[in-house]
Amino acid sequence: MGAGIARLVLEKPGLELAGAYARRAERAGMDVGQAIGIAKDLGVAIEPDLTTAVKHTRPHIAIQATCSKLEDAWPEISIVLRHGVPIISIAEEMAYPACSSPAIAQEMHDLARTEGVAALGTGINPGFVLDLLVIAMTGVCARIDSITATRVNDLSPYGPSVLKAQGIGLGPQAFAAGVESGTVAGHFGFPQSIRMIGSALGLNIGRIEEERRPIVSKVHRETAFVSVAPGQVAGCAHTATAYDGDKPIITLVHPQQIRPELEGVETGDTIEISGMPSFRFEARPEIPGGRGTIAIAVNMIPRVLNAAPGLLTMADLPVPAAMMGDARQFLHARAEERHHG
């Protein structure tokens, strides 16, 4: 993800890649061009110490693509903010940080305000398909009774770490044990998406129940990274249901598997609103995940630079938009002054 974001930053007029930091020690000193797989050297070396990277390069904004969990993301975010640099993170738990830790979220908000900059979590999901887009669709409703949003995607292009987190290649019993022990995690981000929707709509969200079921393959399925025999697990059907009292009010469904087409499963995104009015919106196939996350992280740059200081969610900012032409045209006068004054 980090490499894709860096490549897109390099392509966009008005943006410059000021510097780069990587967690992996073996990348220290490597030219960014080589690290992100483009032919030429960029004259920007990967810095293994984040404080040094921020101090030396003095970026106008940072994009974090190093991890999924808030506790893991926070030390890096805190260093960036303490140098007065706004930040966009694609860590899934950053989509709605108060969900994992109200204390860290409050500390982050206070620090960002003290430093006069904004911090935002984004991504395709959480951050867009199963939350921001759902919220936007409800904008034309006088009343919401319930919401169901479904994302059926194809994990075939993904590597071992993603496949393992979905339990792909396991037998059904090993899958159940993995769910129990936490090694089969399924999708990261349901509670974040639910809290973002709940907060934006003023819903009364009580308990959230999550379920991870194995997608047991009837056929042989194979990718470059895994081979699944009939009877083995080809993916994880992960759902989350949020209740208002005993009434299910938000249901998010996200089955992720390899080679869905081999059993006639059509991929896609569907948002169903039941209320006044009721309607259904769908994309067939689904909006691409990896490319979407890369794009939205970069597209949010001017929104975050223009924003009031503090910790923000996607629901606090103007809608994302593709950024065509020179990125600097999207900066408001105040943001320009801050960064060039």
Q: If binding is defined by CB under 8 A, does position 118 make contact with a copy of itself?
A: no
- Contact flag: residue 150 with a copy of itself (CB under 8 A): no
Residues forming beta bridges with residue 45, ordered by sequence position: 31
Q: For the sheet with 118-121, list strands across it.
A: 62-64, 87-89, 118-121, 310-312
Residue closer to a copy of itself (CB basis): 39 or 322: 322
The least distance separating a copy of itself from the CB of residue 208, rounded to whole angstroms, comes to 18
- Window of 44-52, 209-217, 259-267, 290-298 that interacts with a copy of itself by CB under 8 A: 290-298
Site map (CB under 8 A) of a copy of itself, residues 292-321, x = contact: xxxxx-xxx--------------xxxxxxx
Q: Are 232 and 216 in contact (CB under 8 A)?
A: yes
Among 94, 203, 233, 253, binds a copy of itself (CB under 8 A): 203
Query: Does position 329 bind a copy of itself by CB under 8 A?
Result: yes
- Distance, in Å, from the CA atom of 113 to the CA atom of 117, rounded to the nearest integer, reads 6
- Tell which residue, 218, 210, 272, 262, has the closest CA to residue 241: 210
Q: From 136, 133, 130, 132, select the one nearest 148 (Cα to Cα).
A: 130
Choose between 99 and 179: whose C-beta lies nearer to a copy of itself.
Answer: 99
According to the binding rule CB under 8 A, does residue 326 interact with a copy of itself?
yes
Give the interface size with a copy of itself as a residue count (CB under 8 A). 56
Pairing between strand 233-244 and 247-257?
antiparallel
Closer CB to a copy of itself, 229 or 276, in the complex: 276
Does 325 engage in binding with a copy of itself (CB under 8 A)?
yes
Amino acid at 265: V
Nearest one of 136, 127, 134, 167 to 150, comparing CA atoms: 134
Three-state secondary structure call for residue 235: strand
If one asks whether residue 141 binds a copy of itself (CB under 8 A), the answer comes out as yes
Applying CB under 8 A, does 144 fall inside the site for a copy of itself?
yes
- In Å, what is the CA distance from 337 to each residue of 112, 166, 306, 328? 18, 46, 11, 12
Residue ranges that bind a copy of itself, judged by CB under 8 A: 8, 11, 124, 128, 132-133, 135-136, 138-144, 200-204, 269, 275-277, 279-285, 287-288, 291-296, 298-300, 315-326, 329-330
